Amino acid sequence: MNTSRSLLVIACALALSANAWAAKVPPGAKLHAVQELVRGNGTEPATLDPNKMEGRPESNLAVELFEGLVSLDPDGKVIPGVAEKWESKEGGRIWVFSLRKTAKWSDGSPVTARDFEFSFKRMVDPKTASQYAWYLGKAANVSNAVAVMEGKKPPAELGIKALNDHTLQFTLEKPVAYVVATLAHGSLMPLPQKVVEKFGDKWTDAANLVSNGPYRLVERVVNERIVMKRNSHYWNNAATVIDKVTFLPIQHQSAEYQRYRANEIDLSADGGVPSEQLAQIRRDIPNELAYWPQLGTYYYIFNFRTKPFDDIRVRKALSLAINREIIAKNIVGTGETAAYSFTPATTDGYKPIEHAWEKLTQAQRDDEARKLLAEAGYGPGKPLKFELLYNTNELHKKIALAVASMWKKIGPVEIELVNQEWKTFLDTRNNGNFAVARAAWIADYNEPSTMLDMFHSKHGNNDGKYLSAKYDGIVDGAKTTLDDGQRLAAYQNAERQLAEDFPVAIVYHYSVRHLIKPWVKGYGRNPEGRIKTSDLYILAH
């Protein structure tokens, strides 16, 4: 079977096996009379316009109000959304999506392929000024997307075209096997062209917004609440159980926690488990604390432009000396796991390899680190001095203190902890004015490339300026490898390269953390942290 045929078969099998999800209430479960849910959402979203989203608070809302070509089931598997099925042609360079004819906007008009085409062209258009304008080009490899984003080609030349009302065609720069996984992103929703053009920036007002997802916007009070009710025109509305959902933008975890305890919130924001109250939560409401692995990694960047971090011996010594188990289990302590590879083990299509240094005990790693540091020329007369930069936050401080004390054990290391307020910190880090800096990376989609691309010499977030032609070659090759086995092997090679060069000290993999009332059911363990209200139901209580 040639590759394109096999891709086609896989795609069709996927489309057929995974029916669109919705709340699956087990038989015999007694539902609460009032199906209304209140959720925390972290902070006030920057916008309700999916094309202009910035992060989680926005994408959480986008997936309630809108539905993209594909969606994620409660466990994070890609399932059909507005697209019923899809197939690839020309060896994975062209992808054709067939849209369901029953999909409708909340005003009753049909959702067509042109609504997707309009949205995707708008997102890439520099005039829209979207922070995710790079996504279709760099993550999904859509043809001409980068040129349009850079203003070198008009949006009309983007490689996405509605062949008719119900068929949408993607043309990619290069064949990419995992393109469908990238399309579940919150920014890639269809948009109601007429409404957007009629109201301009005001199209997201509660009075104007028309959406195609399970819910429609009813009310938005900035810094207080966003209220949605079920969209009776949604094609799968019959399977939705919760009638009304309210999102509260509460920035401070302790404030959200108080309201959760007062039964004003049923489901906290992701991460809404204040570490100061963790002991109390475990004592009083252990059954309401839920966590599972997330596609995200916490790490420290070494700045290759600052001596001595251009020396592999120093980077390796510092990386080996971190006792990751202690940090993940005892300092963070909500399901986080010690990390030895950058790509989390739960990533789709990825199997971690065990690095040689990983097999050593911590004592052996410390010994090795001592040797490396001595070899690099650091000893009693010549201590290793540097600053460790992190953004102001209690947890980051605790971790930095612990890591600093671990580093001091391997030799004469003098560390100054420096914390900066978030925006200042970002500026300092992006400009490379640091020696060692805290960082975190959360996957944009469920595939190793979203993690490993980070260390590509051309990636904007490669703040330490790790420049390795070898590594670039491995990752570039991996992304366009169509065979799953070969692609996995290539990603593992990339991880091997990272374990050889130590551009960063990987610390732990994140977990998705929530407080959830016992009567809220239907959520799974989505490693991207997405919990859709349309999958949930409320038991009698």
Partner 1 sequence: MLKFILRRILLEALPTLLILVTVTFFLIRLAPGGPFSAEIDVPPEVKAAIEAKYRLDQSLPAQYFGYLADLTRGDFGPSFKYKDFTVNDLVNKAMPVSFRLGVTAFIIAVILGVGAGVTAALRQNTWIDYSVMGVAMIGVVLPNFVLAPVLALIFAIWLKLLPAGGWDGGRAIYMVLPVAVLCQHYISVIARITRGSMIEVLGSPFIRTARAKGLPMRYIVRRHALKPAMLPVISYLGPAFVGIITGSVVVETFFGIPGIGQLFVNGALNRDYPMVLGLTILIGTLMIVFNAIVDIVYGLIDPRIRIK
Binder among 1, 33, 129, 356 for partner 1 (CB under 8 A): 129
Q: Does 44 engage in binding with partner 1 (CB under 8 A)?
A: yes
Q: Does 139 engage in binding with partner 1 (CB under 8 A)?
A: no
Dihedral sign of CA atoms 399, 57, 63, 444 in order: negative
Binder among 102, 364, 430, 486 for partner 1 (CB under 8 A): 430
Q: Does 421 engage in binding with partner 1 (CB under 8 A)?
A: yes
Q: Cβ distance 108 to 478 under 8 Å?
A: no
Between 283 and 423, whose beta carbon lies closer to partner 1? 423
Q: Which stretch binds partner 1 (CB under 8 A): 367-375, 398-406, 420-428, 471-479?
A: 420-428
Q: Does 169 engage in binding with partner 1 (CB under 8 A)?
A: no
Q: Does 357 engage in binding with partner 1 (CB under 8 A)?
A: no
**Closest distance of CB 74 from partner 1, Å:** 26
Dist CA 154 CA 503 (whole Å): 38
Q: Does 427 engage in binding with partner 1 (CB under 8 A)?
A: yes
Binding to partner 1, residues 199-228 (CB under 8 A): 201-202, 204-205, 221-225
Binder among 3, 6, 35, 47 for partner 1 (CB under 8 A): 47
Q: Are strands 36-40 and 244-248 parallel, antiparallel or unpaired?
A: parallel
Strand partners, 509: 297, 337
Q: Does 196 engage in binding with partner 1 (CB under 8 A)?
A: no
Report how many helices (DSSP H) and strands (DSSP E) the chain contains, helices first: 17, 18
Q: Does 115 engage in binding with partner 1 (CB under 8 A)?
A: no
Q: Which stretch binds partner 1 (CB under 8 A): 231-239, 258-266, 317-325, 392-400?
A: 258-266
Q: Does 432 engage in binding with partner 1 (CB under 8 A)?
A: no
**Closest distance of CB 264 from partner 1, Å:** 6
Dist CA 537 CA 414 (whole Å): 54
Q: In terms of Cα–Cα distance, which of 119, 37, 123 is closest to 82?
A: 119
Dump the DSSP string for 199-215.
HGGGGGSTTT----SSE
Count of residues making up the chain: 541
Output phi, psi for 413, to 5 deg.
-115, 125
Q: Cβ distance 144 to 153 under 8 Å?
A: yes
Between 92 and 344, whose beta carbon lies closer to partner 1? 344
Q: Does 428 engage in binding with partner 1 (CB under 8 A)?
A: yes
Output phi, psi for 95, to 5 deg.
-125, 130
129: left (phi over 0), alpha (psi -120 to 50) or beta: left
Q: Does 244 engage in binding with partner 1 (CB under 8 A)?
A: no
Binder among 52, 324, 514, 521 for partner 1 (CB under 8 A): 52
Q: Does 472 engage in binding with partner 1 (CB under 8 A)?
A: no
Q: Does 101 engage in binding with partner 1 (CB under 8 A)?
A: no
Tokens encoding 94: 């062209």
Say if residue 308 is preceded by a cis peptide, omega within 30 of 0.
yes
* CA distances to 122, 221, 320, 362, 378 from 193, in Å: 10, 25, 54, 58, 63
Size of residue set near partner 1 by CB under 8 A: 54
**Closest distance of CB 251 from partner 1, Å:** 7
Binder among 114, 259, 355, 397 for partner 1 (CB under 8 A): 259
Q: Which stretch binds partner 1 (CB under 8 A): 23-31, 48-56, 346-354, 493-501?
A: 48-56
Q: In terms of Cα–Cα distance, which of 212, 163, 216 is closest to 188?
A: 212
Dihedral sign of CA atoms 498, 501, 507, 513 in order: negative
Helices 362-375 and 312-320: crossing angle in degrees, nearest 10, is: 160
Could you list the residues that contact partner 1 (CB under 8 A)?
Answer: 43-44, 46-49, 52, 54-55, 126-131, 133-134, 149-151, 201-202, 204-205, 221-225, 248-252, 254-255, 258-259, 261-262, 264, 421-428, 430, 440, 460-461, 463
